[in-house]
């Protein structure tokens, strides 16, 4: 995996809003464009992000825990084959 650097474009999986009593969500977890704003020198899989959403920009700083890498596999995956909310991954390659 390449090491993310400040200014790199990555994808962030949003958490989604809480599940309502009827089982629906106002906002479902979805993939968003993000820019790396900080890189953890001790853990290249943990970064700070600026996430672009239709409702505005959201920031996830390293001071607040940052975001961990998850491609749907490995130790950070809770749903194999699908990255979990609150994590980042590299965009899929374009053919």
Residue 13 in any domain: the answer is yes
For 25-74, the pLDDT digits (tens) are: 888 889 999 999 999 999 999 999 999 988 899 999 999 999 999 876 65
Residue-level pLDDT at 82: 65
Residue 73 in any domain: the answer is yes
- Which residues on neighbouring strands pair with residue 58, listed in sequence order? 51
Residue 2 in any domain: the answer is no
- Which residues on neighbouring strands pair with residue 41, listed in sequence order? none
Pick the more confident residue, 63 or 80. Answer: 63
For 6-26, the pLDDT digits (tens) are: 999 999 999 888 889 998 888
Residue 1 in any domain: the answer is no
3 state DSSP class of 76: coil
Residue 37 in any domain: the answer is yes
C-alpha angle with apex 23: 67 to 51, nearest 5 degrees? 25
Residue-level pLDDT at 80: 53
Residue 77 in any domain: the answer is yes
Domains held by the chain: number: 1
The pTM of this model reads 0.81
Pick the more confident residue, 79 or 87. Answer: 87
Residue-level pLDDT at 72: 66
């Amino acid at each position: 995996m390449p090491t993310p650097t400040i200014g790199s474009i990555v994808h962030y999986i949003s958490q989604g809003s809480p599940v309502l009593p009827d089982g629906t969500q106002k906002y479902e977890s979805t993939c968003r464009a993000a820019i790396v704003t900080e890189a953890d020198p001790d853990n290249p899989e943990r970064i700070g992000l600026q996430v672009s959403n239709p409702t505005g920009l959201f920031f996830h700083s390293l001071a607040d825990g940052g975001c961990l890498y998850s491609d749907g596999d490995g130790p950070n995956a809770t749903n194999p084959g699908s990255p979990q909310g609150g994590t980042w991954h590299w965009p899929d390659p374009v053919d």
